[in-house]
Structure 1
Amino acid sequence: MIVTYNWLKEYVDFALEPEELAHRLTMAGLEVDSMERIGYGMDSVVTARLLTVDRHPDADKLTVCQVDYGRETVQVVCGARNHKAGDLVALATVGTVLPGNFKIKKSKIRGIESCGMLCSEKELGLAEASDGIMILSDSCALGQPVFDALGLKDVRYELGLTPNRPDCLSVLGVAREVAAMTGRPLNIAQPALAEGGDEAAACTSVTIEDPDACPRYAARLIRGVKIGPSPSWLVRKLESVGQRSINNVVDVTNLVLMELGHPLHAFDFQRLREGRIVVKKAAEGESFRTLDGAARQLSGNDLVIGDGQGPVALAGVMGGENSEVVPETADILLESAYFNPVTIRRTSKRLGLRTEASHRFERGCDIAMVPVALNRAAALIAQVAGGQVSRGMIDMYPRPLTQRKIVVSVRRADEILGLDLKLEDIHGHLCSIGLEAHPAEERHSESLVVTIPFFRPDLEREIDLIEEVARLNGYDRIPVTMPAGRMVCHMPAGHHKGVSRLRDAMVAAGFRELVNYSFVSPESWDRIGLAAGDPRREAVRILNPLTEEQSVLRTSLVPSLLETVARNLSYQNQDLSLFELRPVFLPAANETLPAEKWRLCAVVCGRREPEGWAQNNQKVDFYDLKGVAEQILEMFNVGPVSWDAETVESYLHPGKACCLRKNGDVFGSVGEVHPKVLAAFEIDQPVFLLDLDFEQMLAAKSRGSVFSALSRFPQVARDSAFLVDENLLFRDVQEVLDKACGPLVEECVLFDLYRGKGVPDGKKSLAVRVRYRSIDRTLTDEDIQKAHDRIVRALVDRLGAELR
C-alpha cells in the first residue's frame, strides 16, 4: 500500500516530521518498507516566463526561447510544440539533476547555446507520460521553486501490510492510525451530492441471486457525463500513489479505491442489455473477455455481475470489455458492492488474475463503506465529468450483518502485557481507532464491551483487543523481564509413554525410524492389493492437495514404508531394518474429523548381520520379525496371543505369513510381502513386514509385571516326542499343553520338528521339553511322573497323538 504525507495531512492535522511519521507507523505495526521524497533537492527547477519563442535556424522542430526566471534571462533550446511567448513554465537551471540522474549542463544544440531545460511533467517525475512542457498558472510567482509553487513537495511511503489488516489498504485507514498515535481528530469530508432527474430505481434494477457470495450491492445512475482527460489535481493525486490516469470517470473510481479502500466499477449504462444488473454464479465453462482483453473460462463457483443476458464483470476482480467506459459513453451505472472474501480469493487464484480490487475484497472490505464510497464517487464524477446524478440509490442488502461484540478485561490485559492500565486507558486506546466501547453492565466489573466495526474483520477475540492496546500504548512501554523458569513434574499420559517405550525398543532391536508424509496417493491401495470392500479404501480426501500423489490421508503405513524400501534398494542400500510408528486416519461414522489410530509398521530385508570378513551371509526371514513381535508383546505384558496362519493380509504371502489374535480380535500381522506387491513397488528381493495396531495392543495389555520368587530347588526336564498329523498346528498343541500343565510345570517348549525316515507319510514328529520345579520342595520321581503322564494323556486323547 502506498500513501503520501500530504494526503494523510488532509485527514489528520499532525505535526510529525516525515522520518518520525515513518518510525511511528512502523512501531504501530504498519511497517514502512520505503520512503521516497518527491520534489526535495530540486529547488533549482523554478517558474519562468517565456519572453520570446523563435524557430531554430537549423532545425524545424526546435525553438529558441528567451526565458526570464526573475534573477536573469537565459536562452533555452526546446523541442516541444505546446508553448508560446508569455507562458509560465518550469525551468531547470544549469546544474540541476533531474530524476534518472540527468544533469542539466550548458550546451550547444545545432550551434545555438542553451542554458537550461524547459521541463515536462514526465521529466520532473510527476507523470508517466506527457505531450509537452509543463504550462503553469499565472498565479505562480516568478523564480519560485516549481514544487513549492504547486505544493507538490511530498513524501511517498510504501507500507508492507500483513494480510490481517485490510483496513489499512486505504489512505483513510492509515490516517485513522495516524490520528490514534498523535491524538489528533480524524477529519472525513462529507461529499456534497446533488441529485436530479429521474428516479434511479425507475430506470434500472439490481437482483442478487446469491446473497451469500454478495451480501450487499448498491448502484447509482449518472446521466450526461462527458468522458475525457482528468484534471491535473486528480492525475497527480493518483500518480503520487502509483496509479496511472485513464479517463476522468475511471480515475474517480481509482481515487476512491485508494482513498477509502473500497473498490468501485463504472458500467456504460447504454451497453447493459435490458438496463439492469443481476449478481449470480457463472455457468460452468462459460467464456468471458475481461478488460485486459483476455478470454477467461469461468467456473460454476465464480461470481459474475450480469446484465439481462450475460456477464458484464467478474465480481470483485475485473470488469468486462462488453460494458467498459469508452469515449462515447454518456450514461454511467456506478457499482459499489461487498463480496464474500472466500469467493473472490478462489476466483482470483484460479484465474491467476490479481487486481487492486481483488486484493482488497479477498481480505475483507467494510460492508458499511458501500454507500459512503458510492456517494463520494458519484459526487466526484459529477464534478470532473459533468452529468446529473439520478435521484435515489439502489441499495440491495437482503440480510444485514450484525457487528461483533467482544468483552475485554482490564485484569486480563494487565496480566498479559505486564502493565498497570486503567479502564480509562484501554477505553481511550480502543476508541481512538474507531471502535465503540462502554463499561460492562456487571457491577464492580473492570471490563469493556467493545463493538467491532466492519472495517476490522481481524478482531475476533479478547486477545486481539489486548494486542491492539499493546500496539497503541507502545511496544516500547512493555517492561523488559526475564522469562520465568518453573520446574514442573510432568507425568506423560499412558499413550505417550507407550509410544516412547515402543520407539526405544525398536531402535534397541536395530531398526531405524522413518517419518513419512501422512498424505498418499489413492492408487496406493491398488498397489498393496486391498480388496474392493476394504474399509481402508475409504480414505479422507484433501480439499486442496499439492499433487495427486499426496491427495488422501493414509489409512495404512504399509505403502509409504514399501516406497521407502524401494527407494533405498535403488540406491544399493540392500540390508534394511526400518520402522514407522505414526497415526493413520480412518473415516469415523457421523464425525467430521477422521479417527487417528496409531500403528507400528516395520520391514526387514537383506542380510541378518552387517557385511564383514567373518560372516555366513544369512538372510533375514519370517522368524526375525516374529521374534521382534514377541519381544514387543512381552514388553507390554500382552497376554497369550494366537498366531493365525489361515488369515493373512492381501499384501502378505499366503503360507508365509500370519495374523496375531487376542481374544479373537486381529491386532496385527507379520510375514513375507506378496510377490505381486513387491513387483508393484519394483522391489526385486524378499521383504518381511510387521504391522501392529498400537491402540489395540495397549487395550489388550494384561496386568503389570509381578515378581515371583526364585526357587532354590532343582529342576527336572522330561522330553517326549509325539507323532501327529501333518496338518496339525503347534498352536493347537500349545492350547492343550496350557490346560494340561499343572502348578509344577515351570516351562513347556517345542524343541524339535522332524519329518523323514521312521515317520509315516502324512505325519510329523514334535518333540516337547517340559521343565518341572517346585517353589517349596524337591520333586520326587513320582510327582514328576504323575504330572507328565497327565500331559501325555491330554495330547493323546485330544489330538490323537502317538508317543514315540
Structure 2
Amino acid sequence: MIVTYNWLKEFVDFDYSPEDLCHRLTMAGLEVDALEEIGGGLDSVVVAKLESVEKHPDADKLTVCQVNNGTETVQVVCGAPNHKTGDIVAFAQVGSVLPGDFKIKKSKIRGQVSMGMLCSGKELALSEESAGIMILPQDLKLGQPVFDALELKDFMIEIGLTPNRPDCLSVVGVAREVAAMCDQKLKLPKPEIAESAEKIDDQTSVTIEDAEYCPRYAARMIKGVKIGPSPDWMVRRLEAVGMRSINNVVDVTNYIMMELGHPMHAFDFRFLEEGRIVVKRAQQGEKFTTLDDQEHEMIAEDLMICDGKKPVAMAGVMGGLNSEVQDDTENILLEAAYFKPTAIRRTSKRHGLHTESSHRFERGADIDMIPVALDRAASLIAELGQGEVLAGVIDNYPQPLQTPVLDLNLSKVQALLDIPVDLQTVQVLLESIGLQVEDGSAADQLKVTVPSFRPDIEREVDLIEEVARLYGYDDIPVTMPVGTVDAVVPPKRQQVQNMLRNTIVSCGFSEAMNYSFYGTDAIQKLGVAEDDPRRQQVKILNPLSEDQAVMRTSLVPSLLETVSRNLAYRSTDLRLFELRPVFLPQEGQTCNERLTLTAVACGRRQPEGWAQGADQVDFYDLKGVVEELLGAINVSDVTFSVDTPEPYLHPGKSCHLLQKKKQLGSIGEVHPQVLAAFDIDQPVFLLELDVEAMLEVSGEYSKFKPLSRFPDVIRDSALLLDESVSAAEVMDIINRTKVKYIENAVLFDLYTGKGIPEGKKSLAVRVRYRDLEKTLTDDEVVKGHNKLIKSICHQLGAEIR
C-alpha cells in the first residue's frame, strides 16, 4: 500500500517528521518498505518565463527560447510543440539532476547553445505520459523552485502490509493508525450532495439473487456527466500512489478506493439493458470479456454483475468491456458493494486476474463504508463532470452482517504481555483505533464490539495483540526464555537411518527426494508378477494428476525416472540413493509403511580426467557399497544368493542378500527390458535394502579394540576346489573355525586354465595372524594354519596346490 505524507495530514493532525512517522508505523506493525521524497533534490528546477520563442535556423522542429529564470536570461533549445512567448514554464538549470539520474549540462544543439531544459511532467516524474512541456500559472514568482511553487513537495510512503490488515489498504486506514499514535481524532470525509428532483428509483433497480456471495449492493445515478481529463491535483495524487489517470469518472472511483479503501465501479447506463442491475452466479461456460479486452470462460461458481440480459462485470474483480465509461458517456450508474472474500479470491485466481479491487475484496472490505464511499464518489463525479445526482440511493442489504462482540480479560492481557496496564488504559488504547469498548460482566473484563473494518479481529488473543501493538513493542520488557536441555539418546531406528545415510553418502552417492506417490503403471514397468504384493497399491482419494495416483510400493520406479531424466540432460555418471518408506497393503490396515534404501549407479567408475581410468561401474561396485552399509550397522553373516532374482534385475547379474533365511534386499544390473521402459540406453546397477529387516538383525555398535604392538604373520595358501564351490563357503569356514590369533583373511586370487584339472579352480587365500600381547612363534602359526587348511579340505574336498 502506498500513501503520501500530505494526504495523511488531511485526515489527522500530527507533527511527526516523515522519517519519525515511518519508524512509528513500523513499530506499530505496519512495516514501511520505502520512503521517497517527491520533488526531492529538484530545487534547481525553477519557475521561468519565455521572453521569446523563435524557430531554430537549422531545424524545423526545434525552437530557440530566451528564458528568464528571475535572475538572468539564458538561451535554451526546445523540441516541444506547445509553448509560446510569455508562457511560464518549469526550467531545469545547468547542473540539475532529473529523475532517472539524467544530468542537465550546457550543450550545443544544431549549432545553437542550450543552457538548460524546459521540462515536461514526465521528466519531473509527475506523470507517466506528457504531450509537451509544463505550462504553469502566470501568477507564479520567477526563480522559485517549481515543486515549492505548485505545492507539490510530498513524501511517498510504501507500506508492506500483511494479508490480515485490509483496513490499512487505504489512506484513511493508515491515518486511523496515525491518529491512535498521536492521540488525535480521525477526520473522515463528510460528502455533501445536491440531489436533483428526479428519483433514482424511477430509473433503475438492483436485485440480489445470491445474498451469500453479495450481502450488500448500493448504487447512485449521475446524469449529464461530461467525460474529460481529471484536474491536476487528482492526477498527481493518483500517480503518487502508483495509479494512472484515465478520465474524470474512472479516476474518481480509483481515488475513492485509495482514499477510503472501498473499490467501486461506474457503468455507462445506456449499455445496461432494461436499465437495471442483477447480482447472480454466472452460467456454466458463459463467455465474458473484461475491460482488458480478454475473454474469460465463466463457471457456475463465479459471481457476476448483470443487467436485464447479460453480464456487465466480474464481481469484485473487473468490469466488462460492454459497459465501460466512454468519451461520449453522459449517464453514470455508480456501484458500491460488498462481496464474500473467499468467492472473490477463487474467481480472481481461477481467471488469473489480480486487480486493486480484488486485492481488497478478497481480504475483506468494510461493509459499513459503502454509503460513505458512494456519496463521496457521487459528489466528486458531479463536481468534476458537471453532472446531476439523482435523488435517493439504492441500498440493497437483505442480510445485515452481525458485528462480533468479544470479551477481554485483563488477567489474560497481563499474563501474555507482562505489562502493567489497567482496564482504563486498555480501553483507551482500543478505542483509539475505532473499537467500541464497554464494561464487561466481570470486574476485570471488557466487552469489545469489533467494527466492520477490522475483519481480522476474531478472538480475544487478537485484541491482546492490538493492545501490545498500541502500547508499543519497544515498551514491552525483554525476557530471555528459560528451558532445560536434556541429553536423549535417539531411538535405534533413527540411529540406523542416520548411519545408513551417512555411509552411502561417504561412498559418493547423492540423495534423491521423489514424491511418495506415482502413476498406477509405474510398478508395471518393472515387470513384477500379477500376484506380487507390490501390485496392490493404496489409491489417493484426490490425486493431483494420473502420474501421482497411488502410494508407491517400491522406490525403484522413481529412481529410474530420475536416472532417465538426468541422462536426457547428458548427465551420464550417476550415483543416487533414496532412503524413504514404501507403502505396502496389509490386511486390517490401510497399509504397512516400510523404510527402504534404494540406490542406483551408472556411468564411469571415476570422474573424467587425464589421470583417471575409463572403467564403468559394475556389480561389484554396488556389492562393495552393500558391505560398507552392512558393516556400518553391524549386520553380519550375510550371504549372496542367486536364486529367484527380482524380475526387474538381470537374471545372470543379480542376487539376493540373506541372513540365514531372512531376505535383506537385492543387488544387480537392471534388466534391459526395464531400462527400455524407462527410456534408459545404458547399463544401470541397482541395490535395494529392506531397512526394517536390517533393523531386526543389526547388532550393537563395535567396541574399541586396541592396536597390537606386535608384528603380524601372513600365510598364503592356494586351494584346488570344485568349480561349484563358492568363495563365500571358503570364507565361511575360515570365520567359523576356532583358530587362535586369526586377525583377518582375504581371497586374493582365482585361477583356472593350464595346470588346473577340468571342473576345478584354484582359490588363493591370505590369512593374517597376530596376538595383542606377544610376538607369535613359527610353531604357533603353523599349528593354527594347518588346522584351518585341514578343516577346509575336509568340509569342501579341497586340495593344497
Distance in structure 1 (CA, Å) of the matches to 2:318 and 2:3: 23
Q: 1:583 to 1:459 in 2, by over 3 A?
A: farther
- 1:739 is matched with none
- 1:733 is matched with none
Residue 225 (str. 1) matches residue 225 (str. 2): yes
- 2:518 is matched with 521
Q: Is the 8 A contact 1:218 1:395 kept in 2?
A: yes
Residue 135 (str. 1) matches residue 136 (str. 2): yes
1:252-401 residue pairs with structure 2 within 5 A?
A: 252-401=252-401
Q: Is the 8 A contact 2:341 2:362 kept in 1?
A: yes
- 2:466 is matched with 468
The one-letter code of the counterpart of 1:187 is: K
Q: How far 1:507 moved relative to its partner? A: 7.6
SS at match of 1:11: coil
SS at match of 1:274: helix
Residue 452 (str. 1) matches residue 424 (str. 2): no
Residue 478 (str. 1) matches residue 479 (str. 2): no
Q: Deviations over 1:742-771 (max 9, x none)?
A: xxxxxxxxxxxxxxxxxxxxxxxxxxxxxx
Distance in structure 2 (CA, Å) of the matches to 1:16 and 1:510: 63
Q: Which moved more, 1:345-354 or 1:232-241?
A: 345-354
Q: 1:588 to 1:151 in 2, by over 3 A?
A: farther
1:29-428 residue pairs with structure 2 within 5 A?
A: 29-48=29-48, 53=52, 55-56=54-55, 58=57, 62=63, 64=65, 67=68, 69=70, 79-83=80-84, 85=86, 89-92=88-91, 94-95=93-94, 97=96, 99-100=98-99, 101-102=101-102, 118-127=118-127, 128-136=129-137, 138=139, 140-141=140-141, 143-428=143-428
Q: Is the 8 A contact 1:408 1:449 kept in 2?
A: yes
Q: Is the 8 A contact 2:539 2:549 kept in 1?
A: no
Q: Which moved more, 1:245-254 or 1:152-161?
A: 152-161
- 1:541 is matched with 542
Q: Is the 8 A contact 2:599 2:687 kept in 1?
A: yes
Q: 1:402 to 1:488 in 2, by over 3 A?
A: farther
The one-letter code of the counterpart of 1:129 is: S
Q: Which runs of 5+ in 1 are unaligned?
A: 612-616, 635-644, 659-667, 702-804
Q: How far 1:509 moved relative to its partner? A: 11
Q: How far 1:355 moved relative to its partner? A: 2.2
Q: Is the 8 A contact 2:437 2:447 kept in 1?
A: yes
Q: Deviations over 1:508-532 (max 9, x none)?
A: 9999997844542334465578979
Q: 1:36 to 1:535 in 2, by over 3 A?
A: same
Q: Is the 8 A contact 2:536 2:584 kept in 1?
A: no
- 2:639 is matched with none
Q: How far 1:227 moved relative to its partner? A: 0.5
The one-letter code of the counterpart of 1:277 is: I
Q: 1:693 to 1:378 in 2, by over 3 A?
A: farther
Q: How far 1:14 moved relative to its partner? A: 0.7
Distance in structure 1 (CA, Å) of the matches to 2:212 and 2:285: 22
Q: How far 1:386 moved relative to its partner? A: 1.8
SS at match of 2:347: helix
Q: Is the 8 A contact 1:276 1:307 kept in 2?
A: yes
SS at match of 1:259: helix
Q: How far 1:534 moved relative to its partner? A: 8.2
Distance in structure 2 (CA, Å) of the matches to 1:395 and 1:588: 62
The percent identity for this pair of structures is: 50
The one-letter code of the counterpart of 1:521 is: Y
Q: Is the 8 A contact 1:289 1:321 kept in 2?
A: yes
Give TM-score scaled by structure 2 length: 0.67
- 1:794 is matched with none
Q: Deviations over 1:47-96 (max 9, x none)?
A: 4566x556448468637557474x566676665445454x5x23537446
Distance in structure 2 (CA, Å) of the matches to 1:384 and 1:465: 42
1:432-447 residue pairs with structure 2 within 5 A?
A: 432-443=432-443, 445=444, 447=445
Q: Deviations over 1:142-163 (max 9, x none)?
A: 5543322322111112222233
The one-letter code of the counterpart of 2:134 is: I
The one-letter code of the counterpart of 1:236 is: R
- 2:748 is matched with none
Q: Which runs of 5+ in 2 are unaligned?
A: 607-617, 636-642, 657-663, 697-801
1:533-612 residue pairs with structure 2 within 5 A?
A: 536-542=537-543, 549-550=547-548, 560=558, 580=579, 582=581, 598-601=593-596
Distance in structure 2 (CA, Å) of the matches to 1:679 and 1:375: 72
Q: Is the 8 A contact 1:165 1:456 kept in 2?
A: yes
Q: 1:221 to 1:553 in 2, by over 3 A?
A: farther
Distance in structure 1 (CA, Å) of the matches to 2:523 and 2:318: 44
Q: 1:679 to 1:412 in 2, by over 3 A?
A: farther
Distance in structure 2 (CA, Å) of the matches to 1:587 and 1:452: 53
Q: 1:455 to 1:650 in 2, by over 3 A?
A: farther
Distance in structure 2 (CA, Å) of the matches to 1:405 and 1:597: 49
Q: How far 1:239 moved relative to its partner? A: 2.0
The one-letter code of the counterpart of 2:89 is: A
The one-letter code of the counterpart of 1:539 is: I
The one-letter code of the counterpart of 1:480 is: V
Distance in structure 2 (CA, Å) of the matches to 1:81 and 1:186: 44
Distance in structure 1 (CA, Å) of the matches to 2:164 and 2:586: 34
Q: Is the 8 A contact 1:92 1:104 kept in 2?
A: no
The one-letter code of the counterpart of 1:471 is: R
Q: Deviations over 1:383-427 (max 9, x none)?
A: 111212222222333333223344444333334434333333333
Alignment size in residue pairs: 663
Q: How far 1:206 moved relative to its partner? A: 2.6
SS at match of 1:156: strand
Distance in structure 1 (CA, Å) of the matches to 2:619 and 2:47: 97
Q: Deviations over 1:683-722 (max 9, x none)?
A: 978978677999xx99xx9xxxxxxxxxxxxxxxxxxxxx
Q: Is the 8 A contact 2:25 2:31 kept in 1?
A: yes
Q: Is the 8 A contact 1:93 1:115 kept in 2?
A: no
The one-letter code of the counterpart of 2:469 is: R
Q: Is the 8 A contact 1:83 1:135 kept in 2?
A: no
1:676-687 residue pairs with structure 2 within 5 A?
A: none
Distance in structure 1 (CA, Å) of the matches to 2:105 and 2:574: 78
Distance in structure 2 (CA, Å) of the matches to 1:116 and 1:686: 76
